[in-house]
Amino acid sequence: MTDIRELPSHEAVRRCKATTDIDEIIELTKHSDPMVRQKALREMCPCRVKKDLSDFWTRVLEMLDDDAANVRYQVLHTLCDGSPSHLEMEVAEALEVFNRDPDKKIRRQAHRALTAYRKTGKWNIL
């Protein structure tokens, strides 16, 4: 059996959309292609999963410093779109990291989320 992280990108993207297996999605976030990692993260978004799955959140937080800006932006989006309240400190720290990101789009969105968090205590603004 082929390691899921070594699948051709088009097949890995298809698997991102087709699977409901938590472990498979997490493995797809480790694929060499940033587009695949982003698509897998998109499938982990709270607006889709509708559950608080600690393995998902652990992996999302591990991806804060991904090399690809599109993946980091998706991490930021995922954190600000329904992350559970028990992760408040981790999310606040992640927003501070993203507020210094080299990518302007990420910095802008992180600044927006930080401003909301400082004013209202809420970071789930997307």
Residue 1 confidence (pLDDT): 46
Q: How does pLDDT run across 6-57, given as a tens digit for each residue?
A: 899 999 999 999 998 889 999 999 999 999 999 999 987 666 666 667 889 9
**Neighbour tally for 57: CB within 10 Å:** 20
User: Which domains does the chain possess?
Assistant: 4-120 (1.25.10.10)
Residue 25 confidence (pLDDT): 94
Contact 111, 93 (CB under 8 A): no
Global confidence as pTM: 0.90
Contact 56, 23 (CB under 8 A): no
Q: How far apart are CA 46 and CA 116, in angstroms?
A: 19
Maximum Cα interatomic distance, the chain, rounded to a whole number of Å? 51
Q: How does pLDDT run across 50-67, given as a tens digit for each residue?
A: 666 788 999 999 999 999
Token pair, residue 8, equals 């051709």
